[in-house]
Amino acid sequence: MTDSAAGQLTRIVAIRHGETAWNVDTRIQGQLDVPLNDKGLWQARRLGQALADEGISVVYSSDLQRALQTAQAVAAACALDVTTDTGLRERAFGVFEGLTWAEIERDHPVESERWRRRDPDFGPVGGEVLSDFYERCVGRITALAARHPGEVVAMVAHGGVLDCLYRAATRVDLRAPRSWQLGNASINRLLHTPQGLTLVGWADTGHLDGAVHDEFSDAGANRAAQGSAA
């Protein structure tokens, strides 16, 4: 790679937010502002520790608090601030928001079928059409990356956003079934050049693997300390 080409390249560390109670319940969050649960906060701290020496120069995040809380842990570990961007928000799911997958299938069977087969022209009532969501996510991420040639940029967003990013980087059709992981607090690596996005690594959870979130983890220890001081 020439110096000129390297100077145009932006390294993207794309991150899905930590776990929420609604993730556990398989409940559609969409653009509802659901916070991280205790495990999600623990995941965010582990994530920050893992990325502290990555050379990240800027941290962008969806403004929804599950992403923002995750981004704040990363930014704190890197001695940076967080810049929020509504273009990184999850897809708006309209009438689906707040419902479990089973409830959607029961209460909206026709719409559920179009959603599950990834109809690009479908959007739940009050929500975003899939093709519009894809264009919004990829366009915004590309624009943000283009601001930082030669730098390492962290972007904290949502499962749907990362799904669009994976498809853009690997040229997978929007209708194709998903065969890749979108784990909470996973680290995903891409490159951006003026020619587009390229996938480098996906679904890295090494910072979480083998670690146990329980009463002896940092989150549990913090709660125990608060309880003993009360």
Residue 160 has pLDDT above 70, yes or no: yes
Position 106 scores a pLDDT of 97
Annotated catalytic residue, options 90, 97, 111, 128 = 90
pLDDT at 25 over 50: yes
Per the annotation, the verdict on 128 as an active-site residue is no
pLDDT, residue 8, reads 86
pLDDT of residue 77 exceeding 60, the answer is yes
Superfamily of domain 3-229: Phosphoglycerate mutase-like (3.40.50.1240)
Q: Supply the pLDDT for residue 55.
A: 97
Average pLDDT, the chain: 91
**pLDDT higher than 80, residue 217:** no
- Given a cut of 80, is residue 126 above it in pLDDT? yes
Question: Is the Cβ–Cβ distance between 204 and 187 less than 8 Å?
Answer: yes
**Cα angle, residue 86 at apex, residues 89 and 115 outer, rounded to 5°:** 30
Percentage of the chain exceeding pLDDT 70: 88
* pLDDT attached to residue 7: 72
Q: Is residue 158 annotated as part of the catalytic site, yes or no?
A: no
* pLDDT at position 222 over 90: no
Residue 23, H or E segment: helix 21-24
223 confidence band (pLDDT: 50, 70, 90): very low
The token pair at 134 is: 């894809």
Identified catalytic residue from 17, 158, 192, 207: 17
